[in-house]
């Protein structure tokens, strides 16, 4: 176990998390996916009974369920630490996020949750490189690289409180996104899940709007631009430049949500974990299955 004293060796803990999640993922896939595939095979008929389609549907349902469960655990933990052990830095009170920089101390619990979240991002990058488990799209790889860069920068440059608050806020919609996608794949075999799927879609759309579009200007961008002036000029521009890039991705996805909700094309992307806009737009437009068919 690394000493967790803010040194590069602490990254070993994130690597342990990544390898541990990968091991759990592969083991649970081996144990649960055959049963899920059999359940789908027994209930699907007609065009949906094609064996390859059943396997793909079962795999996508499992994959999104695993991400949703993992995201729920990490985001709940991140919010708990943000609200109780983050030096008063929350989305609702940002005055202490960068106050006193660079002499900003953080707790051991903060380091554990920070490195765990970083480890999960690392796990997804390892999966993408090895083409196993969760394979990310190109735009999500870029998103992860920038996010992981920001997390490393924050961990070693006394921006941890600010970064953890941002992580908790922006990751809130992840659980709902992947829950909605998992339920969408399962609904064909279990029609009783339709109402739950629709509720998940609408909850995701609302959380995306609140946490990724409306909240960041005041909770993230404003303190970065104003309170961040305590940092050297180069650090100020790096920090705010990365933050604005991440926020621009949220706006890019939100524009896609609006376009699809207004009847635009959903796109032909095949990559998993790359279409938050498509899912939310399907909910807003009331065309869940049609918009998600490309997945």
Q: What is the pLDDT along the chain (295 residues), one digit of tens a residue?
A: 888 888 899 999 999 999 999 999 999 999 999 999 999 999 887 766 788 889 999 999 999 999 999 999 999 999 999 999 999 999 999 988 888 888 888 899 999 999 999 999 999 999 999 998 888 989 889 889 988 988 998 899 888 899 999 999 999 999 998 999 999 999 988 999 999 998 998 898 889 999 999 999 999 999 999 988 888 898 899 889 988 988 998 998 888 877 766 665 544 333 444 445 454 444 444 333 333 333 3
| Angle between helices 11-43 and 108-130 in degrees, nearest 10 | 60
In sign, the C-alpha dihedral spanning 63, 68, 71, 77 is negative
Six token digits for residue 70: 């993992």
Six token digits for residue 145: 């690289």
93: which strand partners? Answer: 90
For 194-203, the CB contacts below 8 A with 24+ separation are 197/288, 198/283, 198/288, 200/176, 201/279, 201/280, 201/282, 201/283, 201/288, 202/283, 203/176
Gap between the Cα atoms of 281 and 18, Å rounded:
32
């Amino acid at each position: 176990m690394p000493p967790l004293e803010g040194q590069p060796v602490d990254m070993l803990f994130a690597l342990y998390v990544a390898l541990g999640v990968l091991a759990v993922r592969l083991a649970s896939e081996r144990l649960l996916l055959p049963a899920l595939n059999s359940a789908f095979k027994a209930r699907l008929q007609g065009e949906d009974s094609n064996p390859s389609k059943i396997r793909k549907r079962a795999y996508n349902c499992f994959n999104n369920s695993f991400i949703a469960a993992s995201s729920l655990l990490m985001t709940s933990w991140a919010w708990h630490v943000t609200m109780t052990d983050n030096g008063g830095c929350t989305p609702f009170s940002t005055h202490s996020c960068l106050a006193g920089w660079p002499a900003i101390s953080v707790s051991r619990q903060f380091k554990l949750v920070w490195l765990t979240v970083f480890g999960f991002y690392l796990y997804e990058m390892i999966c993408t490189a090895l083409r196993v488990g969760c394979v990310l799209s190109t735009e999500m790889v870029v998103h992860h690289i920038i996010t992981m860069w920001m997390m490393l920068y924050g961990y070693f440059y006394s921006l941890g409180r600010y970064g953890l608050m941002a992580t908790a806020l922006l990751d809130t919609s992840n659980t709902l996104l992947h829950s909605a996608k998992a339920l969408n794949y399962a609904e064909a075999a279990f029609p009783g899940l339709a109402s739950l799927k629709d509720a998940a879609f609408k909850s995701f759309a609302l959380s995306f709007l609140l946490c990724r579009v409306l909240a960041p200007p005041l909770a993230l961008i404003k303190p970065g631009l104003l309170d961040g002036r305590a940092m050297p000029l180069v650090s100020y521009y790096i920090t705010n430049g990365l933050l604005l890039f991440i926020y621009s991705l949220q706006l890019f996805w939100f524009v896609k949500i609006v376009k699809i909700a207004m009847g635009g094309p959903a796109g032909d992307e095949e990559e998993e974990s790359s279409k938050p806009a498509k899912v939310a737009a399907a909910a807003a437009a009331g065309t869940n299955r049609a918009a998600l068919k490309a997945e």
